[in-house]
Chains A and B, each alone.
Chain A
Amino acid sequence: MANITVHINGVPQTLDVEPRLLLVHLIRENLNLTGTHVGCDTSSCGACTVLMDGRSVKSCTVYAVQANGKEVTTIEGLAHAGQLHPLQEGFKEEHGLQCGFCTPGMIMRCVDLLERNPNPTEEEIRWGISGNLCRCTGYNNIVKAVEYAAQKMQAAEVPAETVA
């Protein structure tokens, strides 16, 4: 067992974990944050995407011990003071989700995407989310949702890092 402290959505959590425990299972099973999902075994689908120190990672490919001392943000930590993140709003407004299973990972990936590139083109969005699979939407409306959020964040001049 290894003793680690991970800051999950701003709250430090100290616990003993097996060295082989995956970050996604730490999040889902030890901390009961079930918004982060598992869709494959091969880092292909991105349903488990979270932010680690502000950068999107596939949490099925990170050991919990690697998150020791880091800030991890999950979908549950994205809204602030009752205010949805522009991406959460955009996915609803533009119908960027259907079954909702890929959605948390997709949104977390897009938080990182917009931080790196606040005003992406359609092609940049498509490449930017190409590590996240969606089986329902055909991606058209996910692209629109990201564009919606980009415009809203630019209009509000909200620096993306304040939400990470």
Chain B
Amino acid sequence: MFCNTSKEIGGMGHSLKRKEDARFTQGKGHYVDDVKLPGMLYMDIVRSPYAYAKILNIDASKALEIPGVLAVITGRDLEKYNLHWMPTLMSDTQMVLPTDTVMYYAQEVCAVIATERYIAADGVAAVEVEYEPMKAIVDAHKALDPGMPVLRPDKGKTDNHIWHWEAGDREATDKLFANAEVVVKEQVYIPRIHVASIETCGCVADFDPVEAHLTMYMTTQAPHAIRTVIALVAGHVGLSEEKVRVIASDIGGGFGGKVPVYPGYVIAIAASVLIGKPVKWIEDRMENLQADSFARDYDMTCELAATKDGKIQGLRIKTLADHGYTDAAANPSKYPAGMFSICTGSYDYGVAFTEMDAVYTNKPPGGVAYRCSFRVTEAVHAIERMVDRLALEIGKDSAQLRMENFIKKEQFPYHSPLGWEYDSGDYGPALQMAMDIVGYDELRKEQAEKRKNGQLMGIGICSFTEVVGAGPSKDFDILGIKMFDSAEIRVHPTGKAIARFGTKSQGQGHETTYAQIIAQELGIPAEHIHIEEGDTDTAPYGLGTYASRSTPTAGAAAAVAARKLRDKARKIAAYLLEVSEEDLEWEVGKFFVKGAPEKSKTIQELVFASYTNHPQGMEAGFEATHYYDPPNLTFPFGSYICVVDIDPETGSIKIRRFVAIDDCGNIINPMIVQGQIHGGLTQGLAPAMFEELIYDEDGNMLNGSFMDYLVPTAVESPSWETGHTITPCPHHPIGAKGVGESPTVGAPPAIANAIIDALSHLGVTHIDIPITPQKVWNILVEKGVIEAV
């Protein structure tokens, strides 16, 4: 591991305890619901009980009779200001509040503004809405059937098709598949899930009518982008960008769910502007699960072609994507299917083709990540399931099949058939390390023995490659804004620093890790570098924290900005020591004269001199800013092995062991990286075995609360075993890659492959996630292992 600073300086490679934790462990975190302003009002939202209905009438009279209820805001009210619709990030449009029709269960219908939280809720209960329900489109497969209602005639649509997207060489792929020795095929569905951060979404919109200034306290992973969006959406009613300040203080988990602009935010702003007082809106858990952006919902027809001895030759995937009633996915503009084209995975083969059709249904909009970089989870699930499927088909060990087909270390940078340039990788050692730790060969022997006795045990592997850190400006933008990110470092005369960033931590520990990057580069102890994010009035512009982009973009910006400062320090040192710059050598924390190490100046002395005794002609002070435009994305990878035991009588699944070997390049803080891996693994376990948003045929969500949307507890989560290999990123200033999402991407196929492996001798080739005991039990009954009662 790269670590060449002292513990006191605390640069790269030190497991520094987190600076954040003092406040979090003492109840002094400052989350949005903790904001309390004089005269603040509360907003609560009336939501639709139907998935698709005409609104015939909204009668707010009884609500307005309740003492303390000040206003009920409807779509008709917003229409007067042309604020009833807003653009989505994917060039679609989304209702803020409906004027005529509701498009999904739990959609916002109108909002009650009151003096107290409980009174606002009373007001919601008293609003009477008359609906005319219509037959909802729930099944994406039926959305394009003739005779189906057209959900978005306002978009000029004549059917419910949103877009078609494809990548790769269709003709060459079809030709390969027509002549392949072996073709395996599975229908792989990844259902809707929800990030369910423990803090829900919310805001306090504080409009000052005298200054025409809006301060927006909110749970957002991308405060700067939100400020610009507010100015774009509401500029015509006077919200000018210099008078919009977005403040994201502590955030209780994001995972992608706090990237979008939800209608509640816009309604709260409108209410504050109309009434001239601060308005707080905090969604409850049911609103959060039922109406906020979902993740996944891809139905993939996956095919893999190979020789009969197991050389993978080609991949073909056709996907149907259910986007709900509007495409409000949070993707870079040119990537409607995110980075799904990473689906060729960690393997070296010639051709691939993938195509996707997106459709409208009467479900909430979205397509946000669930702790993954823009659809990478779906892509990795597809390829890693199919590699196991191929192993089963040709009777080859799935680890050996992977080893034989991996892209070799010397092939990097590797150009994938779907257009990515993988920056660096060394896949074999990671898988071998996982196999050694778990005792792979012994487990296979044990499995063979157990099968003879009717016992069910499975071993599942996933060797994933991710694509994270969006991204290079030539390809990546959101609403036209390029996906660079930024760092600004100011070092005070006494050698202590403050640094600000365009990203926004939601638990990733930026206050600690960014300080370590700067400590590494300047030799100022990390404990004396204060990190700030989330206030758009003070931080430099950036597109925020998601898609594992903070280290690849803002982390890089910190290193480059620090190096600018080091260059300045060198000039000052040359001046003070009366030597030329070339005669100076840097050792973490000081410059010394080559061959005369006793002649030196510490970084603290040089910083002090920049304020007190800087060379004539040099700009005073010690500050630098950098906007980092990454030359490429980063491609972290890893190999995971899961071992499961299944009760042949009940179908219950026990994860016996889970070994995760990750490679995210150089590591800034091993403790924090390991923590990210643990957390991501549990968020990978969740969709693999527990989580799914379930709708009935009328479009009602059946499990929209924590009573029945099963977030894993400490009991379901196994004791994760982790390890790492290190293959530095060749284009990142400190050789690091993103890491927070690797485990969420890698765990589901490892778990699914293990469970399917346990049942494969019964003829089972695939089971869709979440794989529940019920699904396994049904299979055991179907296969005659147990008798149905």
Inter-subunit contact A137/B678 (CB<8 Å)? yes
CB distance from B512 to the nearest CB of A (A): 10
> In the bound complex, how far is the Cα of B713 from the Cα of A131, in angstroms?
7
> In the bound complex, how far is the Cα of B677 from the Cα of A95, in angstroms?
12
In the complex, chain A residues 85-126 whose Cβ is within 8 Å of any chain B Cβ: 88-89, 91-93, 95, 97-104, 107, 122, 125-126
Contact of A100 among B29, B679, B682, B713 (CB under 8 A): B29
Inter-subunit contact A101/B27 (CB<8 Å)? no
Digitize A54-74: 1 where CB-to-B-CB distance is under 8 Å, 0 elsewhere. 000000000000000000001
Digitize B375-407: 1 where CB-to-A-CB distance is under 8 Å, 0 elsewhere. 000000000000000000000000000000000
> In the bound complex, how far is the Cα of B286 from the Cα of A139, in angstroms?
24
Contact of B26 among A84, A98, A131 (CB under 8 A): A84
> In the bound complex, how far is the Cα of B199 from the Cα of A34, in angstroms?
13
| Residues on the B chain within 8 Å of A75, using CB | 25-27
Digitize B20-48: 1 where CB-to-A-CB distance is under 8 Å, 0 elsewhere. 11111111111101101000000000000
Cβ of A53 under 8 Å from chain B? no
> In the bound complex, how far is the Cα of B294 from the Cα of A4, in angstroms?
43
Interface size of B in residues (CB-CB distance below 8 Å): 59
In the complex, chain A residues 10-31 whose Cβ is within 8 Å of any chain B Cβ: 18, 20-21, 25, 28-29
Classify the secondary structure of A's interface with B: loop
| Residues on the A chain within 8 Å of B197, using CB | 99, 101, 135
Contact of A103 among B25, B196, B677, B680 (CB under 8 A): B25
Can you name the residue of chain B whose Cβ is closest to the Cβ of A108? B27
> In the bound complex, how far is the Cα of B17 from the Cα of A93, in angstroms?
7
> In the bound complex, how far is the Cα of B707 from the Cα of A21, in angstroms?
22
Contact of B199 among A37, A84, A126 (CB under 8 A): A37
Inter-subunit contact A136/B27 (CB<8 Å)? no
Inter-subunit contact A141/B199 (CB<8 Å)? no
Inter-subunit contact B713/A133 (CB<8 Å)? yes
> In the bound complex, how far is the Cα of B200 from the Cα of A131, in angstroms?
18
**Most chain B C-beta atoms within 10 Å of own C-beta, residue among A34, A84, A138:** A138
> In the bound complex, how far is the Cα of B198 from the Cα of A108, in angstroms?
17
| Given A25-B117, A42-B706, A138-B682, CB of A97 within 8 Å of CB of B671 | no
CB distance from B269 to the nearest CB of A (A): 23
> In the bound complex, how far is the Cα of B25 from the Cα of A136, in angstroms?
15
Inter-subunit contact B713/A130 (CB<8 Å)? yes
| Residues on the B chain within 8 Å of A37, using CB | 31, 33, 198-199, 252
Inter-subunit contact A104/B286 (CB<8 Å)? no
Inter-subunit contact A42/B705 (CB<8 Å)? yes
| Given A35-B27, A92-B25, A138-B717, CB of A98 within 8 Å of CB of B199 | no
Cβ of A142 under 8 Å from chain B? yes
| Residues on the B chain within 8 Å of A35, using CB | 26-29
Can you name the residue of chain B whose Cβ is closest to the Cβ of A139? B714
Contact of B706 among A45, A97, A98, A137 (CB under 8 A): A45
Inter-subunit contact A44/B706 (CB<8 Å)? yes
| Given A41-B705, A125-B714, A138-B681, CB of A97 within 8 Å of CB of B252 | no
> In the bound complex, how far is the Cα of B25 from the Cα of A98, in angstroms?
11
Cβ of A159 under 8 Å from chain B? no
| Given A130-B715, A135-B683, CB of A99 within 8 Å of CB of B26 | no
Inter-subunit contact A138/B27 (CB<8 Å)? no
Can you name the residue of chain A whose Cβ is closest to the Cβ of B715? A130
| Given A99-B253, A135-B197, CB of A76 within 8 Å of CB of B27 | yes
Inter-subunit contact A40/B706 (CB<8 Å)? yes
Cβ of A162 under 8 Å from chain B? no
Can you name the residue of chain A whose Cβ is closest to the Cβ of B509? A98
| Residues on the B chain within 8 Å of A127, using CB | 714-715
Inter-subunit contact B198/A39 (CB<8 Å)? yes
Inter-subunit contact B714/A129 (CB<8 Å)? yes
Contact of B720 among A20, A29, A138 (CB under 8 A): A138
| Given A93-B17, A97-B25, A98-B509, CB of A139 within 8 Å of CB of B198 | no
Contact of B24 among A25, A45, A97, A122 (CB under 8 A): A97
Cβ of A164 under 8 Å from chain B? no
| Residues on the B chain within 8 Å of A95, using CB | 17-18, 671-672, 674-675
Inter-subunit contact B713/A76 (CB<8 Å)? no
Cβ of A154 under 8 Å from chain B? no
Digitize B263-291: 1 where CB-to-A-CB distance is under 8 Å, 0 elsewhere. 00000000000000000000011100000
Interface size classification for chain A = 35 or more
Inter-subunit contact B29/A41 (CB<8 Å)? no
| Given A42-B285, A92-B21, CB of A99 within 8 Å of CB of B252 | yes
**Most chain A C-beta atoms within 10 Å of own C-beta, residue among B17, B27, B28, B200:** B27
CB distance from B440 to the nearest CB of A (A): 22
Inter-subunit contact B509/A100 (CB<8 Å)? no
| Residues on the A chain within 8 Å of B200, using CB | 39
> In the bound complex, how far is the Cα of B706 from the Cα of A39, in angstroms?
10
CB distance from A41 to the nearest CB of B (A): 5
Digitize B475-517: 1 where CB-to-A-CB distance is under 8 Å, 0 elsewhere. 0000000000000000000000000000000111100000000
In the complex, chain B residues 675-707 whose Cβ is within 8 Å of any chain A Cβ: 675-683, 705-707
Cβ of A51 under 8 Å from chain B? no
Inter-subunit contact A33/B27 (CB<8 Å)? yes
Cβ of B302 under 8 Å from chain A? no
> In the bound complex, how far is the Cα of B727 from the Cα of A95, in angstroms?
25
Cβ of A3 under 8 Å from chain B? no
> In the bound complex, how far is the Cα of B483 from the Cα of A104, in angstroms?
35
Inter-subunit contact B255/A135 (CB<8 Å)? yes
Inter-subunit contact B252/A79 (CB<8 Å)? no
| Residues on the B chain within 8 Å of A29, using CB | 36, 117
Inter-subunit contact B24/A103 (CB<8 Å)? yes
Inter-subunit contact A136/B507 (CB<8 Å)? yes
Can you name the residue of chain B whose Cβ is closest to the Cβ of A39? B198
Contact of B284 among A41, A131, A143 (CB under 8 A): A41
> In the bound complex, how far is the Cα of B682 from the Cα of A45, in angstroms?
16
> In the bound complex, how far is the Cα of B24 from the Cα of A79, in angstroms?
13
Inter-subunit contact A42/B707 (CB<8 Å)? yes
Inter-subunit contact A126/B252 (CB<8 Å)? no
Cβ of B586 under 8 Å from chain A? no
> In the bound complex, how far is the Cα of B680 from the Cα of A6, in angstroms?
40
CB distance from A64 to the nearest CB of B (A): 12
Contact of A92 among B17, B253, B508, B713 (CB under 8 A): B17
Can you name the residue of chain A whose Cβ is closest to the Cβ of B116? A29
Inter-subunit contact A135/B198 (CB<8 Å)? yes
CB distance from A123 to the nearest CB of B (A): 9
| Residues on the B chain within 8 Å of A97, using CB | 21, 24-25
CB distance from B294 to the nearest CB of A (A): 16
Inter-subunit contact A134/B198 (CB<8 Å)? yes
CB distance from A132 to the nearest CB of B (A): 8
| Residues on the B chain within 8 Å of A143, using CB | 714, 719
In the complex, chain B residues 570-585 whose Cβ is within 8 Å of any chain A Cβ: none
Cβ of B96 under 8 Å from chain A? no
| Given A40-B705, A140-B720, A143-B714, CB of A84 within 8 Å of CB of B25 | yes
Inter-subunit contact A32/B507 (CB<8 Å)? no
Digitize B706-748: 1 where CB-to-A-CB distance is under 8 Å, 0 elsewhere. 1100010111010110000000000000000000000000000
CB distance from B50 to the nearest CB of A (A): 21
Inter-subunit contact B22/A92 (CB<8 Å)? yes
**Most chain B C-beta atoms within 10 Å of own C-beta, residue among A20, A42, A75, A135:** A135
| Given A40-B706, A95-B675, A141-B678, CB of A126 within 8 Å of CB of B509 | no
Can you name the residue of chain A whose Cβ is closest to the Cβ of B681? A138
CB distance from A136 to the nearest CB of B (A): 5
Can you name the residue of chain A whose Cβ is closest to the Cβ of B22? A92
Cβ of A38 under 8 Å from chain B? yes
What are 6 sample pairs from A and B whose C-beta atoms fall under 8 A apart?
A95-B672, A101-B250, A101-B253, A130-B714, A133-B198, A138-B679
For the A-B complex with A37-B33, A78-B26, A100-B23 known, give 5 more contacts whose Cβ atoms are closer than 8 Å: A33-B27, A42-B285, A88-B26, A135-B255, A137-B679
Which 6 pairs between the two chains have the least Cβ-Cβ distance?
A: A35-B27, A101-B252, A99-B507, A100-B24, A138-B678, A44-B706
Q: Which of A's residues lie within 8 Å of B, judged by CB? A: 18, 20-21, 25, 28-29, 32-42, 44-45, 47, 74-76, 78-79, 84, 88-89, 91-93, 95, 97-104, 107, 122, 125-127, 129-143
